[in-house]
Structure 1
Amino acid sequence: MMSNLFSSFDPSTEPLFSINWASPMLGFMLISLPMWLIPSRINTLWMKLFTILSKEFLNMLKIHEKKNSLLFISLFTLIFFSNFLSLFPYIFPSTSHLTFTFTLALPLWMSFMLFGWINNTTHMFAHLVPLGTPNILMPFMVCIESISNLIRPMTLSVRLSANMIAGHLLLTLMGEMESKMSMMMISTLMLIQLLLLTLESAVAIIQSYVFSILSTLYSSEIN
């Protein structure tokens, strides 16, 4: 039994794995060789996925140059690999840490804000007051919109880490209960864990899509 419930999320738990922050890169090392062959089924599947994502991002960016969506597709791929690999035993879940997610969210938000305020200053000021706001409410709307913009990197990072750590903690808690159950209950618990693991696989994809799509929306607001 673990002495600490959160020890599986501690990057310094095992001294032998001092480079466990590099776990998202393991996904690229485990890709099968046919992925890099053209044409191949795996490569075709990835190209279809990237085409769909590129259309989604370009519609939000309102820019019809595919190179503008490359950043967000790369962001989706990185988070997806990290989320998916964290479902395997003894692999460090980097996306469950605010250190990792905030490192992704803050530079993106900062670059969007700097670009917007330097190049589209008038638009950025106008964005602080929604269209149709009564004159008496304008000072309050400016404060609310300013706070909303400032907390965006935190909400992005907390949303991703909280959703990833919740499922991992639930699986850990259920695994700790097995030693106190009968064989019949253990079989039922394993079935529940299998269903929960399937749900976590869907969450891994959804959260990577949500993070990248929200980053795209924040980028579209400055143009």
Structure 2
Amino acid sequence: MKHRLDLDFLSLLAAATREGGISWRHVGGDGYRSTSEVYNLSWLYWYRVDGITIGRMGLIVAIQDQSLAFPWGTEGMEVAKQLLNEIDGKWISYHFGLVKGCKEMLPNDLPSTPVVRMQQPCIMVLSLLRQATQAGEILWRQDRDNPNSFYSHFNHKKMEITFRQPADYDENPIGNLVVELLLEGANIPFACGTDGYFLIEEILSFSIPDYQRAIRDREAALAREIESLRRMIRQSPAEEK
């Protein structure tokens, strides 16, 4: 997989906060905004159809005109929690308490075995789709009625890719959170920040120039923010001591 600029950005944002280059203030229920008004951090919640809150789904970091979502279980969420710890340590203390409580319920003689990363069948499917799209054997098109949906045909069978966007309280979209691959007889979702999500982005970039440009623009914006944070850290008082 390609280098993750979003993880670099989060790590540097946490470092700049730790060094005192960026200060935050509490906004809303459990959100935070930098005093420079450039960055926002907030929780994303799951809701039932009747409006009852199910729980926190992940963290969202907003940078001016774009948002980065990091669901639970992804590498990005672990880095986002480091940023949250620099802003408000009570949240990490809370989560560490949960982890400690879970460990206390496990038997002391539980064997410690390494986690074996398996090549899941769905990732294998995406890898094959990526190869075929890059070779020009599969061509993807954007749905005219839904700009977040893309479709293609292979062996007389239709395939669809659809991005799902959550909305804030004012019903404004806050970025793609989940992408779904619809095959004949299968619906495979991938949360943002996962290998499957980034593979689908690569697949679309091979067929759709506008999508490729959008990815490049997003990465260029992140690269500018990363360089700005690096300059801030180098110039921070804590760094000079």
TM-score bin (small chain): under 0.3
Q: Which has the higher helix share?
A: 1
Higher-RCO chain (CA-CA 8 Å, sequence separation at least 6):
1
> Which has the larger Rg?
1
